[in-house]
């Protein structure tokens, strides 16, 4: 009897010890994934710093990247650490310094060219498209162009039509370029590192309004060897009723819309595209085949947009799985207004995504019922 009791106590003690160990392990995992918060600005800065430290061929150039430490402080501290030969302040001439950057890449260096806004990349588009994007093909693979073009893309707040354009669709239509659009700090660190290490030209589209946003980052993300695969989307939220695709700032809007939809019994799957070219068509189509519905979200213009390409891919590959017409949410087909009230109307809002998802799920209220 005592022996049995003793065994029971021993077994109970072992179980209690195992439970405590498992609890500590789970707590440590939870702690490691949520303990560190990092802004997108710091994620980009740390990625640049680590890649410049690891590879002396990497250098950054652009307007105010050095003495002023970057218009948005992405290059803060890099001039003091690496000197003016690797953190190069340029005149206000995008065509000039972009051409210099492409030439440096031809000769084996790895330039990171910063545009104060991607609207200004229009001054340099000949070098980006004709010199950088096409050279590998035209040289039959003999010439690599390892260059990154990065900076804020799309709308900010109150900066008018000439500083608010989204160029995701423009650049992603061009063979020879890779086009990335990070949302979170994990995206920013992992994708920028991948872009710098890539042997081909990469257009890296950031968002000004996300620079100050903080996101949790794990120990894995903070490791200097960390990078994310180019061409692979991330399922930010799993769902079964409707697929919502988005990139950059619109991922946050999509996640907030999904929260609202969940309260009304609609389970939305949110896909963070991360990579616009190459586009992760397999992840998108697999999701649509599960949910049978699709809503695409972007800030760019509707005609020939990223959402239009996604719609085409789904119609080509998964048409028979669709239970509702595809819903496409985009910016309005007008130059961005300056007035705050008109600017808000010109870009997608959370409620637009919610309404589109409800339409796709046949849950919207008929107009006649609201009259």
Range list of H helices, the chain: 2-34, 40-54, 78-82, 94-106, 125-126, 135-138, 168-172, 185-197, 219-222, 249-263, 281-291, 306-318, 340-346, 350-360, 367-370
Active-site residue among 50, 63, 94, 236? Answer: 94
Give catalytic status of residue 94 as yes or no. yes
d(CA 310, CA 3): 69
Give catalytic status of residue 163 as yes or no. yes
Active-site residue among 50, 51, 127, 163? Answer: 163
d(CA 311, CA 72): 35
Q: Phi and psi dihedrals of 354, rounded to 5?
A: -60, -45
Contacts of 19 (CB under 8 A, 6+ apart): none
* Cα–chain center distance at 20: 39
- Quick count: other Cβ atoms within 10 Å of Cβ 292? 17
Structure tokens at 340: 């705050």
Torsion of CA 132, 204, 306, 239, to 10 degrees: 140
Catalytic residues: 94, 163
């Amino acid at each position: 009897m005592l022996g049995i009791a003793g065994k029971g106590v021993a077994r109970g003690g072992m179980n209690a010890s195992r439970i405590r160990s498992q609890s500590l392990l789970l707590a440590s995992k939870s702690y490691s994934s949520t303990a560190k918060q990092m802004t997108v600005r710091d994620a980009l800065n740390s990625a640049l710093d680590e890649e410049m430290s690891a590879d002396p061929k990497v250098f950054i150039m652009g307007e105010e990247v050095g003495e002023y430490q970057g218009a948005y402080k992405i290059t803060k501290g890099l001039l003091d650490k690496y000197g003016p030969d690797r953190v190069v302040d340029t005149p206000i001439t995008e065509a000039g310094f972009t051409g210099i950057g492409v030439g440096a890449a031809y000769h084996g260096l790895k330039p990171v060219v910063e545009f104060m806004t991607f609207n200004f990349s229009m001054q340099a588009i000949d070098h980006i498209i004709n010199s950088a994007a096409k050279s590998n093909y035209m040289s039959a693979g003999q010439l690599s162009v390892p260059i990154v073009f990065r900076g804020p893309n799309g709308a900010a707040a109150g900066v008018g039509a000439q500083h608010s354009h989204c160029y995701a669709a423009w650049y992603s239509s061009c063979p020879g370029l890779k086009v990335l659009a990070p949302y979170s700090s994990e995206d920013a660190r992992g994708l920028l590192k991948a872009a710098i290490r890539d042997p081909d030209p990469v257009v890296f589209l950031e968002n000004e309004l996300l620079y100050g946003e903080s996101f949790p980052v794990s120990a894995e993300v903070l490791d200097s060897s960390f990078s994310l695969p180019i061409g692979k989307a991330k399922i930010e939220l799993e769902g079964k009723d409707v697929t919502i695709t988005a990139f950059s700032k619109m991922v946050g809007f999509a996640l907030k819309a999904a929260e609202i939809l969940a309260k009304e019994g609609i389970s939305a799957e949110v896909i963070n595209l991360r990579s616009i070219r190459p586009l992760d068509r397999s992840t998108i189509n697999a999701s649509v085949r599960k949910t049978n519905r699709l809503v695409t979200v972007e800030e760019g213009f509707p005609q020939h947009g990223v959402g239009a390409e996604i719609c085409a891919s789904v119609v080509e590959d998964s048409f028979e799985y669709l239970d509702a017409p595809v819903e496409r949410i985009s910016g309005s087909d007008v130059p961005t207004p300056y007035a705050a009230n008109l600017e808000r109307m010109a870009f997608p809002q959370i409620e637009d995504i919610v309404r589109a998802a409800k339409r796709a799920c046949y849950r919207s209220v008929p107009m006649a019922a609201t009259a």
